[in-house]
């Protein structure tokens, strides 16, 4: 990784085709808009191997595109043991994936695992719900949550967040 990288962030859901690629895409767009692409390395992965090598769900691609976010180039992968060393922040979309990550993570790196919505300022939810078995509105809701949490995450990583308890 390049010397200008100050943080390495991994977004994680179950299959890496809905929530985590959406979070990666939204955060990538934020970094581009603010001219910070080289300062934060980002990726996404799933705790399960259901969709390895596949593109995000077409509904996730469509919903993200409607907000100016292109995630069509992303491909699903599973979290690896090396990820716990490489990434200084591993963000779970929900409690089940948080528990899976904690179970797989070597003890020295467990403090790196957090809930993504801990960074959301405008939504009281604690989890990004899995939209996979629902309709298009679920993907819109995911985007609302992810956009909020991405703003908070960027503010925290850049040292400008003031609303944390």
User: Please, which residues bridge with residue 113 across strands?
Assistant: 90
Select which of 43, 94, 100, 130 is catalytic. 130
| Catalytic option among 8, 13, 18, 94 | 13
CA pair distance 31, 162, nearest whole angstrom: 20
Of 19, 28, 59, 112, the active-site residue reads 19
**Helix intervals (H) in the chain:** 19-33, 58-65, 81-86, 95-104, 136-157
| Rounded Cα–Cα distance for residues 23 and 107 (Å) | 26
User: Catalytic residue at 8?
Assistant: no
Q: Is 105 an annotated catalytic residue?
A: no
Catalytic amino acids?
13, 19, 130
């Amino acid at each position: 990784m390049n010397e200008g990288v100050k943080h390495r962030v991994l977004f994680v859901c179950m299959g890496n085709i809905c929530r985590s690629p959406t979070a990666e895409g939204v955060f990538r767009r934020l970094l581009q808009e603010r001219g910070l692409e080289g300062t934060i390395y980002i990726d996404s992965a799933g705790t399960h191997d259901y969709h390895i090598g596949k593109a995000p769900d077409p509904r996730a691609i469509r919903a993200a595109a409607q907000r100016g976010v292109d995630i069509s180039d992303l491909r699903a992968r599973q979290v690896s043991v090396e990820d716990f060393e490489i990434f200084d922040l591993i963000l779970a979309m929900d409690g089940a994936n948080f528990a899976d990550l904690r179970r797989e993570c070597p003890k020295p790196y467990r403090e790196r695992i957090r809930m993504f919505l801990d960074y959301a300022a405008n939504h009281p939810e604690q989890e990004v719900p899995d939209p996979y078995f629902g309709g298009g509105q679920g993907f819109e809701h995911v985007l609302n949550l992810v956009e909020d949490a991405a703003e908070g995450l960027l503010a925290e990583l850049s040292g400008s967040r003031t609303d944390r308890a």
